[in-house]
Amino acid sequence: EAREVLDHGFVRVIDYMGDDSAIVQAARVSYGAGTKHVSNDEGLIRYLMRHWHSTPFEMCELKLHVKLPVFVARQWIRHRTANVNEYSARYSILDREFYIPQPEQLAAQSTVNNQGRGETLQGAEAERVLRLLKDDAGRAYDHYEEMLSQDGQQGLARELARMNLPANVYTQWYWKVDLHNLFHFLRLRADSHAQYEIRVYADAICEMVKDWVPAAYSAFEDYRMGGVNLSAKGV
Amino acid sequence: EAREVLDHGFVRVIDYMGDDSAIVQAARVSYGAGTKHVSNDEGLIRYLMRHWHSTPFEMCELKLHVKLPVFVARQWIRHRTANVNEYSARYSILDREFYIPQPEQLAAQSTVNNQGRGETLQGAEAERVLRLLKDDAGRAYDHYEEMLSQDGQQGLARELARMNLPANVYTQWYWKVDLHNLFHFLRLRADSHAQYEIRVYADAICEMVKDWVPAAYSAFEDYRMGGVNLSAKGV
Amino acid sequence: EAREVLDHGFVRVIDYMGDDSAIVQAARVSYGAGTKHVSNDEGLIRYLMRHWHSTPFEMCELKLHVKLPVFVARQWIRHRTANVNEYSARYSILDREFYIPQPEQLAAQSTVNNQGRGETLQGAEAERVLRLLKDDAGRAYDHYEEMLSQDGQQGLARELARMNLPANVYTQWYWKVDLHNLFHFLRLRADSHAQYEIRVYADAICEMVKDWVPAAYSAFEDYRMGGVNLSAKGV
Amino acid sequence: EAREVLDHGFVRVIDYMGDDSAIVQAARVSYGAGTKHVSNDEGLIRYLMRHWHSTPFEMCELKLHVKLPVFVARQWIRHRTANVNEYSARYSILDREFYIPQPEQLAAQSTVNNQGRGETLQGAEAERVLRLLKDDAGRAYDHYEEMLSQDGQQGLARELARMNLPANVYTQWYWKVDLHNLFHFLRLRADSHAQYEIRVYADAICEMVKDWVPAAYSAFEDYRMGGVNLSAKGV
Ligand SMILES: Cc1cc2nc3c(=O)[nH]c(=O)nc-3n(C[C@H](O)[C@H](O)[C@H](O)COP(=O)(O)OP(=O)(O)OC[C@H]3O[C@@H](n4cnc5c(N)ncnc54)[C@H](O)[C@@H]3O)c2cc1C
Ligand SMILES: Cc1cc2nc3c(=O)[nH]c(=O)nc-3n(C[C@H](O)[C@H](O)[C@H](O)COP(=O)(O)OP(=O)(O)OC[C@H]3O[C@@H](n4cnc5c(N)ncnc54)[C@H](O)[C@@H]3O)c2cc1C
Ligand SMILES: Cc1cc2nc3c(=O)[nH]c(=O)nc-3n(C[C@H](O)[C@H](O)[C@H](O)COP(=O)(O)OP(=O)(O)OC[C@H]3O[C@@H](n4cnc5c(N)ncnc54)[C@H](O)[C@@H]3O)c2cc1C
Ligand SMILES: Cc1cc2nc3c(=O)[nH]c(=O)nc-3n(C[C@H](O)[C@H](O)[C@H](O)COP(=O)(O)OP(=O)(O)OC[C@H]3O[C@@H](n4cnc5c(N)ncnc54)[C@H](O)[C@@H]3O)c2cc1C
Residues D59-99: tens digit of each pLDDT = 999 999 999 999 999 999 999 999 999 999 999 999 999 99
The answer on pLDDT for A192 being more than 60 is yes
Q: What is the ipTM of this complex?
A: 0.97
Q: How far is CA C184 from the centre of its chain?
A: 11
Asked if B71 contacts B12 with a C-beta cutoff of 8 angstroms, the reply is: no
Indicate the length of chain A as a whole number: 235
Ligand sitting nearest the alpha carbon of A54: 2
B4-31 exposure pattern, b = at least 16 Cβ within 10 A, e = fewer: ebbebbbbbbbbbbbbbebbbbbbbbbb
D166 closest CB neighbour out of A106, A146, A165: A165
Ligand sitting nearest the alpha carbon of D82: 4
DSSP D175-234: EEEEHHHHHHHHHHHSSTTS-HHHHHHHHHHHHHHHHH-HHHHHHHIIIIIS-EEE-TTT
- Restricting to D residues 154-193, those with a Cβ less than 8 Å away from any Cβ of B are 188, 193
d(CA D233, CA D235): 6
The pLDDT confidence band at residue D231, using thresholds 50, 70 and 90, is low
Q: Is D232 within 8 Å of chain B by CB? A: yes
Test C156 with B107 for CB contact under 8 angstroms: yes
D189 is catalytic: yes
- pTM for the predicted model, two decimal places: 0.97
DSSP D144-187: HHHHH--SSS--B-HHHHGGGSBTTBEEEEEEEEEHHHHHHHHH
% of chain C surpassing 70 pLDDT: 92
Q: Relative to the CA of D80, which ligand 1 atom is closest?
A: 29
Using CB atoms, which chains have 3+ pairs under 8 A with C? A, B, D
> Residue range B2-23: average pLDDT?
98
% of chain D surpassing 90 pLDDT: 86
In tens, the pLDDT along B70-127 reads 999 999 999 999 999 999 999 999 999 999 999 999 999 988 877 789 999 999 999 9
The answer on pLDDT for A198 being more than 80 is yes
The answer on pLDDT for C62 being more than 90 is yes
Q: What is the distance in angstroms between the Cα of C12 and the nearest Cα belonging to chain B?
A: 22
DSSP A114-132: TTSEEEEP-HHHHHHHHHH
In tens, the pLDDT along C106-130 reads 999 988 887 789 999 999 999 999 9
End-to-end CA distance of chain B: 45
Asked if B48 contacts B85 with a C-beta cutoff of 8 angstroms, the reply is: no
Q: Which of A226-235, B112-121, C139-148 is the most confident on average?
A: C139-148
Check residue D72 and give its pLDDT: 98
* Distance between Cα C84 and ligand 3 center (Å): 8
> Residue range C173-179: average pLDDT?
98
Ligand 1 pocket check: which of A61, A85, A91, A158 to mutate, most ligand atoms within 8 Å of Cβ?
A: A85
Ligand sitting nearest the alpha carbon of A190: 4
CA closest to D219 among chain B residues: B231
Least confident of A218-227, C170-179, D210-219: A218-227
The answer on pLDDT for B34 being more than 60 is no
The pLDDT confidence band at residue C100, using thresholds 50, 70 and 90, is very high
* Distance between Cα C45 and ligand 4 center (Å): 16
3-state secondary structure of A79: coil
Asked if A110 contacts A117 with a C-beta cutoff of 8 angstroms, the reply is: yes
Q: What is the distance in angstroms between the Cα of C55 and the nearest Cα belonging to chain D?
A: 7
The answer on pLDDT for C37 being more than 60 is no
Q: What is the distance in angstroms between the Cα of D50 and the nearest Cα belonging to chain B?
A: 7
In tens, the pLDDT along D161-189 reads 999 999 999 999 999 999 999 999 999 99
Indicate the length of chain B as a whole number: 235
HSE, side-chain direction, 13 A CA sphere, residue C115: 14
Check residue B96 and give its pLDDT: 98
Q: Which tops the pLDDT comparison, C232 or C105?
A: C105
Test B163 with C168 for CB contact under 8 angstroms: yes
Using CB atoms, which chains have 3+ pairs under 8 A with B? A, C, D
In tens, the pLDDT along A15-60 reads 999 999 999 999 998 877 555 555 689 999 999 999 899 999 999 9
The answer on pLDDT for D36 being more than 90 is no
A35 in ligand 2 pocket by Cβ < 6 Å?
no
In tens, the pLDDT along D191-213 reads 999 999 999 999 999 999 999 99
Helix (H) or strand (E) holding C142: helix C123-148
Q: Is A111 within 8 Å of chain D by CB? A: no
> Residue range C54-58: average pLDDT?
98
C233 in ligand 2 pocket by Cβ < 6 Å?
no
AA letter at C62: L
The answer on pLDDT for C70 being more than 90 is yes
d(CA D75, CA A88): 10
Q: Which tops the pLDDT comparison, D40 or C45?
A: C45
